[in-house]
Structure 1
Amino acid sequence: MAEGVLFNVAEGIIGQLGKLALKEIGLLWGVKDELEKLENTVSTIKAVLQDAEEQQAQSHAIKDWVAKLKDILFEADDLLDDFSTEVLRREVMTRNKKAREVRIFFSKSNQLAYGLKMGHKIKAIRERLDAIAADRKFHLEERPRETRVSNRVRETHHFVRAEDVIGREVDKKVIIDRLVDPKIEENVSVLPIVGIGGLGKTTLAQFVFNDEEIKNHFEKKLWVCVSDDFDVKIIFEKIIESSKGKKPQNLEMNTLINDLRKEIGGKRYLLVLDDVWNYDSQKWDSLKKPLLCGARGSRILVTTRDEKVAKISKTIESYILKGLNEEESWSLFKQKAFEKGQEPENLRIKEIAKEIIRKCKGIPLAIKTIGSLLYFRNLEEEEWLSFKNNEFSKLDQNETDILPTLKLSYDHLPPHLKQCFAYCSLFPKDYEFGKEKLIKLWMAQGFIRLSSQNQLEDVGHEYFMELVWRSFFEKAKDHWWITRPRFKMHDLLHDLAILVVGLESSTFGINGENIGGKTHHVSIGFDLSTSSQIPATLFEANKIRTFLLPCQAWHPQQMVLNQSTCDAFVSSFMFLRLLDLNMTGIRIVPHSIGKLKHLRYLDLSSNDYIKMLPNSIEKLQNLETLDLSYCYSLMELPRNITRLVNLRHLNIDDCNSMTHMPHGLGQLTNLQSLAEYVLSTGPRRGGELKELHGLNHLRENLRIKNLRHEKNIELECKAASLKEKRHLEELALEWIKGDANEVNVGYDEKSIEALEPTQNLKSLELNSYWGVIYPSWLSSLKNLVHLLLVSMKNCQHVPPLHQFPSLKTLRLCDFPSLEYISDSVNLPPLEFLLIRDCPNLKGWWERRKDSIVEDEDDDNDYVFLPSFTHLSSLRIFYCPKLSSTPLFPER
């Protein structure tokens, strides 16, 4: 079991008791005394939990005591959640029901019966806890527990910058020499990089992959992460996606191979297959055969921990990667352990640090994690010496196992971070996750505790960033189509998460055989992607709190549920806090879902056939996140959705059949994210823009759809108060499509001016705007990173790009009147440029006599596109007047 879980459950129980006391509900229903006794008991147990959790590894008696305690604490937590939910339900009914119904509901007999029943349950739980508390014959110590450990704060740029590659210049040169060696006779040869986990094989491969000599030598460069799942078809799909920049859609194997040959046939390519575990020679031959169509000099670079893999795949002698030397290890350690990477003035601390480094055996991952751990220590000799002699000296680590070192870093996490990290064992290896979604998952389990007036999401951000700073999470590769960064866990850290979580969590396909009554969190592995049945063993864990289907791009279908199976599933797990049914193919959401009163997170996304939600969903008063994105047939939200008073995140992104928003949505003042707001276009009038007025906590992204091209619409637009939504990062404004010739362009120009957003915006989309001029506020968006302009029927130019100094992505689509893009040579650091359906576009800028770029052909009325220093992807489609234009000038 993950350490820290019980402490946080106990803390949550005390928190719930405090909230109930504030409402004086215990006094009202006659259970005040029992609640106070329960609080005293839990507080007594909480004080010794740290000592008990640390000692249980050495004592079976303590381990049994902790196991018994765990079961009862979870029961107490569920019982109090029942109680809190009932209190909340009565508050909502008081607000929404008619007076007569409220009087009946709150009659003395009703209250007395409920109070008597609840009092007996609380007393029974409390007496069992008292018995366990009295059974402490192990001399457990009471210790205060810290909730924050950091007393030094790094500067912001240290948090986000990519790690410098240290000590791999020689390795890089040797590998590049082998890859470009003209003496190798095979058309396509394979070079494996072999080394233990944590050595930095992937980092070295990236170092090679991005080298200028490699860029110039190979016509195609392709990168594929293979990991545990050596599925030949999936690997081909990934190769094609790496080449084309988009995923192939449901192609048969023969079609995939034909597409693959079109991409690499006759070309000298470099393909990196990262993290390969398969040593089945038949599978390897099936993969390699279609890859032999490359031109002479093509290379496949394989990274693997297993020498057997290298043996069956290699045609060039494997490169055995070694650890860093002492100087390189010290250089890496300094980056992680000391402020700004500066050596400590105290020479004794430096000596102690170097002794610690030697035990890391030159393994970069071990050095980084220990360095990150020590960063949060005071620079005092006694403290560092104590760490070396007492904790670090106990490590029994050989050269092929760094888990003990990583476990030491885990041991030093505060309890709230331990359970947050361990929860990530539910993800598959190499799974890429977004920060915002993971924080919502943590919130659903009650892992995030408010310590001030900050929002839960802000505290969750602090938790997340602490795990990033301590090297438990790392940033994944950027993609132009993803506006927010993605993260992942190193394979070894994923192994560590599974190790520390024990029976608390289970993933089918990895450790599903351990599932049972002790399991509280479950996820489904990809090996069940074609199954329509929930594994029978899952029903043994009838008190699970998490059912997760972690969706990965290459495994879009997790599990298909027929309706009866879905109904049975929802009815069987009444203690769920998180229910994920994304991409399960369900057509009707069971009415019984309203009985899941503990539910905080409900994901119904990517279910194409759901048209309506049951009215019973209004009973989920604890619900914080409702994800309905990509439910293409969903027509409307429940009328009484305003009863979900705790709702913080409502995601209806790309629900294209949605006709309107319900009235009263503005009452949900806890809302933190609302992906889309759909204005009514038909006879049924829904909520108007003024509903957004008070929702000033909105963050992440917001798309307003069906803005009308009407006179006097600016008053309604102004009522939305977008400028006050200071946490909003992405905004899309989408007008109703139609015939631009029938509309007065001035209407749109006034409405867009009234929709002025916060200056903190990072992404902006304007879609079907029929005005001629851009709004005055556009030039104030100095933080803009992504700009998308679509169906700008009357605009003849793009806003001056030099006013967006941070702009990295520019997309121009369906721009019929556009002839030239810019008249400035001061361009932002664009990395991705897409131009589509611009039939009159002639060039980047119009040629002038004083133009810096000269066009030698006087017959042409266009000028070359400028040379972008940072541009990594340029895509141009259906722009006939650019067809003969050289896209870049010669350098």
Structure 2
Amino acid sequence: MAYAAVLSLMETLKQILDADNQHLLDHKRQQFESLLGQACSLQDFLEDSWKTSSEAVESLEHQIREAAYTGDDLIRSHMSNRTEGCLWQVKSMLQNLIFAFWPDQDLEKVIEEIDSIMKEVMKFKNGGGLKDSGPRNSLSAGSSTQVARVAGTTMVGFDDDLIQLKDRLTGQQSKLQIIPIVGMGGIVSQEYCLREILLCLLDCTTKGVTNDMHKESDEELCMRLYKSLKDDNSGSRIMLTTRLSNLAAYVDSCNLRHQMRFLNDDESWKLLQETACSEENYLELERFGKEIAKNCRGLPLTIAVIGGVLSKLDKRQDVWEHIAKNVSSVATSNDEQCLKILYMSYNYLPHHLKPCFLYMGIFPEDYEIRVSKLIKLWVAEGFLKPITYQSLEEVAMKYLQDLIDRNLILIRQLGSNGIIKSCSIHDLLRDLCLREGYKEKFLCLTKVTANTFLNVTNGGRRLIIYENSRNGHDASARLIRANNDTLKSASAVRSFVCIGRFDTKSKLYFGYRLLRVLDVTQIHFYSFPEELLELFNLRYLAYSSNWKLPSSISMLQNLQTLIVHQVIFAFLFKLPPEIWEMPQLRHICFTECALPDLPCGQIGGAASFSQGRLETLSVVRDFMFTKENCRRVENVKKLGIKYDYASARGQWECYSLNNLDQLHKLENLKCLFGGHDYLMFLPSSRKIPRPTLTFPPNLKKLTLSGCLLPWADMTHIGSLPKLEVLKLHRNAFSGKVWEPIEGEFLRLKYLKLHHMDLADWRADETHFPSLQHLILKICSLKEIPSGIGEIPTLELIQLDDCYISTVTSAIHLKEEQESLGNDGLKLCINYSTVTESTKKLIRRA
């Protein structure tokens, strides 16, 4: 990955040059600045070269990748070796000295190599080699084939699509219409010949193709076709199949695109039978056949290829069982055309998206990937090009959306705020990621199974270990042997990701000095791995343990993300004061932890940290929001806090929760109060102590639990101008009646009431004008106000274990809206235990 390698080198050089490096000699500074300038030029070249496909470009990209990796590794190794074993206070001073005595010849070799490459790049540019070659421009992502066709006559699973498209094609509108059909590679194909398509279209729209037309260039044919279709009242229709959702919007923003879906399990099985030989009796093989069809994940291309393979094999259960367990590898290894179709989507990617896409290969098949984690990993890996006035996380979200728009990544789940919460990648595309990632030395995969340790390391920079055995302890033993004995030679490793279930008291080898990412949350450590402190370049650390963090954690000065999963929840993690001395830290994520106060006399340290990049802080126990502490976390965007009634004993003032409104950048707040059993032992005459909360103005998502606030305080929440999501859990508010005020909750889209004793909700469409989703779970509410159905944006009402009267009111509300022509409201009713009469009521809905 040349682009990712250059980005990493540039980041390293900027870190050196931007530091307060008073001891950096002038000629050394000039060397680093020169190298940075060359890297910037190479980056510009790569941002254009993706449009051109040739052996010369591929050769240059390979040279750039190797040179950039060599330079980055050389500099990082030098930094790491010179600071190894030093206290963090001494490290900062040594980093100013390490380059002063660095032998010139080491750096000179890197500069000479990159200079040589730059000369080749300039020759290539001057020779016109970067002219757009045509097939890779954005409009060439269209095609003309539907892979679900069988034997040229049968189409499975797209009957409704065919009817919808026929209606649009034969509609009575007189003006020109473009009908974009969008789908993943393997649903729509990119195989086509531009010239043949142009001539075919001209033959349909003119009096026929003449000899003169055959002599014309593609550009001339395009213009001739354009003129023949220019009459906007001709009633012409153009169908465009593409894998690019944004292209569909570009060619015709007035018409909706037709999104092609994946086949369901029944349709997949039917298509598999058709392709594998329709006259065969599959009764004995049906079990494995349906499993094969399901494992094709609804992609017609995969089903067609696997069906072709099965048609040539013996109709035996063991054969079909083997295919069922290896669908992706069988499909790509048995059909070159299948790989070609998929590789087109990859080859069309700009360079800045390729490493992000290949990175999806580190996750197992059919794995649901949390977007928040994926973005943190991309940031730590250094895949993202900084953009002015945008955080790296915002840049990452743009990259992710681009890959989704290209139908390379699938949305699995949307969050309550409508933002993508989780995603996945089709197994066939994941196999492509592994193949290309292995070839590019981008990643290497190691599998620990029940009987074997499969080592497929290739010198790749990302090492992924999978455990496929049900016996976790045996697998752990094999992991230790594999890691400590086999992988010590993997000096190129920059990321170590372990996926599986391991439980070990033995030490793992973490001697990859230049490691950036260490994700071993599936491994339970019985003590803090002290060797982690030597990983000076570490940016992302995720592991599982109940052992407290040492004060020396601050030695990891480059750490951006710290995630600790607690195995036993009886212990509270108390973070050391040195946590405030980690200036690059962006995300602190614990099951539950306690943050320390800043030691006396270190106000400056607090101020410097508050100007850092901390964006996530969760879940923090009994945090005191003094003005001093608020300054330390003033840049936080996502915050989870927890308090206990028994600990506070009504003395909420010491936590200064009324200062929460000082966190002006906070967008997502989860505030939990526990220990309600304590209230049961209070004398009945004593007033229940309640915290006083204020909320910051830019809050978009708020989750409250156990606050026992009066419903009158809801006006403070309703007046938040940007609030879109409100989740109220057990005892968040106390009281039987909630009467909202008109003019509040203007942007609220999602409202959840869970385990609330609310009985009377006096609301209508004027109180929640933008509401889309209403969720009621184990609520005492007797009925949903009929006015809620008048909300024009309302899409879903979901009831989980609510009163029958609530269900009845929801059904009446839906029926009333349907009688008024509103068919867009969906009603979802779920019960853990129901009577027959309730079942009838639910079926009626």
TM over 0.5: yes
Aligned partner of 1:703 in structure 2 is 641
Aligned partner of 2:810 in structure 1 is 866
1:93 aligns with 2:32: no
- Following the alignment from structure 1 to structure 2, what is the Cα–Cα distance between the partners of residues 61 and 76? 23
Q: Is the 8 A contact 2:663 2:696 kept in 1?
A: yes
Aligned partner of 1:676 in structure 2 is 619
Give the superposition deviation at 1:612: 1.1
Give the superposition deviation at 1:603: 0.7
Q: Is the 8 A contact 2:740 2:762 kept in 1?
A: yes
CA RMSD, 1 decimal: 5.5
Aligned partner of 2:495 in structure 1 is 546
Give the superposition deviation at 1:623: 0.2
Q: Residues 39 and 729 (structure 1 numbering): CA distance in 2 closer, same or farther, change over 3 Å?
A: closer
Aligned partner of 2:578 in structure 1 is 640
Give the superposition deviation at 1:487: 1.9
What secondary structure does 1:588 align onto?
Answer: coil
Q: Is the 8 A contact 1:580 1:602 kept in 2?
A: yes
1:596 to 509, 518, 535: 535
Q: Is the 8 A contact 2:640 2:670 kept in 1?
A: yes
Instruction: Map residues 341-380 of structure 1 onto 2, 5 A cutoff.
Output: none
Give the superposition deviation at 1:438: 1.8
- Following the alignment from structure 1 to structure 2, what is the Cα–Cα distance between the partners of residues 282 and 70? 57
Q: Residues 135 and 772 (structure 1 numbering): CA distance in 2 closer, same or farther, change over 3 Å?
A: closer
Give the superposition deviation at 1:13: 4.2
Q: Is the 8 A contact 1:431 1:488 kept in 2?
A: yes
1:580 aligns with 2:519: yes
Opposite residue 474 of structure 1, the aligned amino acid is L
- Following the alignment from structure 1 to structure 2, what is the Cα–Cα distance between the partners of residues 888 and 432? 31
Opposite residue 544 of structure 1, the aligned amino acid is V
- Following the alignment from structure 2 to structure 1, what is the Cα–Cα distance between the partners of residues 659 and 286? 62
> For each residue in 1:141-192, what CA deviation from the matched residue of structure 2 results, as whole angstroms up to 9, or x when unmatched?
365999xxxxxxx9xxxxxxxxxx9x999624999xxxxxxxxxxxxxxxxx
- Following the alignment from structure 1 to structure 2, what is the Cα–Cα distance between the partners of residues 44 and 406? 31
- Following the alignment from structure 1 to structure 2, what is the Cα–Cα distance between the partners of residues 790 and 134? 67
Unmatched tracts of structure 2, length 5 or more: 131-137, 139-147, 149-154, 164-182, 190-240, 242-260, 277-281, 292-296, 317-333, 600-605, 788-803, 815-824
Give the superposition deviation at 1:10: 3.9
Q: Residues 19 and 225 (structure 1 numbering): CA distance in 2 closer, same or farther, change over 3 Å?
A: farther
1:773 aligns with 2:712: yes
Give the superposition deviation at 1:425: 2.3
Give the superposition deviation at 1:477: 4.3
Opposite residue 670 of structure 1, the aligned amino acid is R
1:460 aligns with 2:396: yes
Give the superposition deviation at 1:544: 0.6
- Following the alignment from structure 1 to structure 2, what is the Cα–Cα distance between the partners of residues 886 and 433? 38
What secondary structure does 1:597 align onto?
Answer: coil
Q: Residues 271 and 445 (structure 1 numbering): CA distance in 2 closer, same or farther, change over 3 Å?
A: same
Q: Residues 699 and 771 (structure 1 numbering): CA distance in 2 closer, same or farther, change over 3 Å?
A: same
1:125 to 107, 125, 147: 107
- Following the alignment from structure 2 to structure 1, what is the Cα–Cα distance between the partners of residues 158 and 99? 74
Give the superposition deviation at 1:488: 2.2
What secondary structure does 2:729 align onto?
Answer: strand
Opposite residue 438 of structure 1, the aligned amino acid is L
Aligned partner of 2:443 in structure 1 is 505
Give the superposition deviation at 1:408: 4.7
Q: Residues 804 and 865 (structure 1 numbering): CA distance in 2 closer, same or farther, change over 3 Å?
A: farther
1:788 to 725, 728, 751: 728
Opposite residue 8 of structure 1, the aligned amino acid is L
1:612 aligns with 2:548: yes
Give the superposition deviation at 1:713: 2.2
What secondary structure does 2:521 align onto?
Answer: coil
TM-score for the superposition, normalised by structure 1: 0.59
Opposite residue 731 of structure 2, the aligned amino acid is S
> For each residue in 1:363-422, what CA deviation from the matched residue of structure 2 results, as whole angstroms up to 9, or x when unmatched?
xxxxxxxxxxxxxxxxxxxxxxxxxxxxxxxxxxx9983654654554454432222222
Q: Residues 282 and 773 (structure 1 numbering): CA distance in 2 closer, same or farther, change over 3 Å?
A: farther
Q: Residues 586 and 842 (structure 1 numbering): CA distance in 2 closer, same or farther, change over 3 Å?
A: same
Q: Residues 143 and 498 (structure 1 numbering): CA distance in 2 closer, same or farther, change over 3 Å?
A: farther
Give the superposition deviation at 1:498: 3.0
1:719 to 659, 666, 674: 659
1:5 aligns with 2:4: yes
What secondary structure does 1:725 align onto?
Answer: coil
Q: Residues 34 and 813 (structure 1 numbering): CA distance in 2 closer, same or farther, change over 3 Å?
A: closer
> For each residue in 1:219-253, what CA deviation from the matched residue of structure 2 results, as whole angstroms up to 9, or x when unmatched?
xxxx99999xxxxxxxxxxxxxxxxxxxxxxxxxx
- Following the alignment from structure 1 to structure 2, what is the Cα–Cα distance between the partners of residues 687 and 793? 22
Give the superposition deviation at 1:806: 6.4
Opposite residue 549 of structure 1, the aligned amino acid is C
Give the superposition deviation at 1:430: 2.8
Aligned residues: 640
Q: Residues 55 and 841 (structure 1 numbering): CA distance in 2 closer, same or farther, change over 3 Å?
A: closer
Q: Is the 8 A contact 2:2 2:64 kept in 1?
A: no
Q: Residues 171 and 140 (structure 1 numbering): CA distance in 2 closer, same or farther, change over 3 Å?
A: same
What secondary structure does 2:577 align onto?
Answer: coil
Q: Is the 8 A contact 2:24 2:96 kept in 1?
A: no
- Following the alignment from structure 1 to structure 2, what is the Cα–Cα distance between the partners of residues 174 and 454? 43
Q: Residues 423 and 820 (structure 1 numbering): CA distance in 2 closer, same or farther, change over 3 Å?
A: same
1:69 to 67, 70, 87: 67
- Following the alignment from structure 2 to structure 1, what is the Cα–Cα distance between the partners of residues 284 and 53? 49
Q: Residues 788 and 745 (structure 1 numbering): CA distance in 2 closer, same or farther, change over 3 Å?
A: same
Q: Residues 778 and 746 (structure 1 numbering): CA distance in 2 closer, same or farther, change over 3 Å?
A: farther
Give the superposition deviation at 1:663: 3.7
What secondary structure does 2:353 align onto?
Answer: helix
1:797 to 725, 737, 745: 737
Instruction: Map residues 375-524 of structure 1 onto 2, 5 A cutoff.
Output: 401=337, 403-404=339-340, 407-478=343-414, 484-501=420-437, 502=439, 503-509=441-447, 515-516=456-457, 518-524=459-465
Opposite residue 141 of structure 1, the aligned amino acid is K
Opposite residue 127 of structure 1, the aligned amino acid is K
Aligned partner of 1:563 in structure 2 is 505
What secondary structure does 1:579 align onto?
Answer: strand
Give the superposition deviation at 1:594: 0.7
Instruction: Map residues 119-158 of structure 1 onto 2, 5 A cutoff.
Output: 119-120=102-103, 123-130=105-112, 133-134=115-116, 141=123
Give the superposition deviation at 1:643: 1.7
- Following the alignment from structure 2 to structure 1, what is the Cα–Cα distance between the partners of residues 338 and 388? 38
Q: Residues 692 and 309 (structure 1 numbering): CA distance in 2 closer, same or farther, change over 3 Å?
A: farther
Unmatched tracts of structure 1, length 5 or more: 95-101, 147-153, 155-164, 176-194, 204-222, 228-269, 290-299, 315-397, 551-557, 681-685, 848-859
- Following the alignment from structure 2 to structure 1, what is the Cα–Cα distance between the partners of residues 399 and 806? 53
- Following the alignment from structure 2 to structure 1, what is the Cα–Cα distance between the partners of residues 343 and 299? 29
Q: Which has the higher strand share?
A: 2
Give the superposition deviation at 1:766: 3.2
What secondary structure does 1:589 align onto?
Answer: coil
What secondary structure does 1:124 align onto?
Answer: helix
Give the superposition deviation at 1:638: 2.3
- Following the alignment from structure 2 to structure 1, what is the Cα–Cα distance between the partners of residues 527 and 262? 38
Give the superposition deviation at 1:490: 3.5
> For each residue in 1:555-592, what CA deviation from the matched residue of structure 2 results, as whole angstroms up to 9, or x when unmatched?
xxx141523232xx22x222110000112122212111
Opposite residue 635 of structure 1, the aligned amino acid is F
Q: Is the 8 A contact 1:419 1:447 kept in 2?
A: yes
Q: Residues 747 and 674 (structure 1 numbering): CA distance in 2 closer, same or farther, change over 3 Å?
A: same
Give the superposition deviation at 1:619: 0.7
Give the superposition deviation at 1:200: 6.9
1:525 aligns with 2:440: no
Q: Residues 81 and 428 (structure 1 numbering): CA distance in 2 closer, same or farther, change over 3 Å?
A: farther
Give the superposition deviation at 1:37: 6.3
Give the superposition deviation at 1:711: 5.7
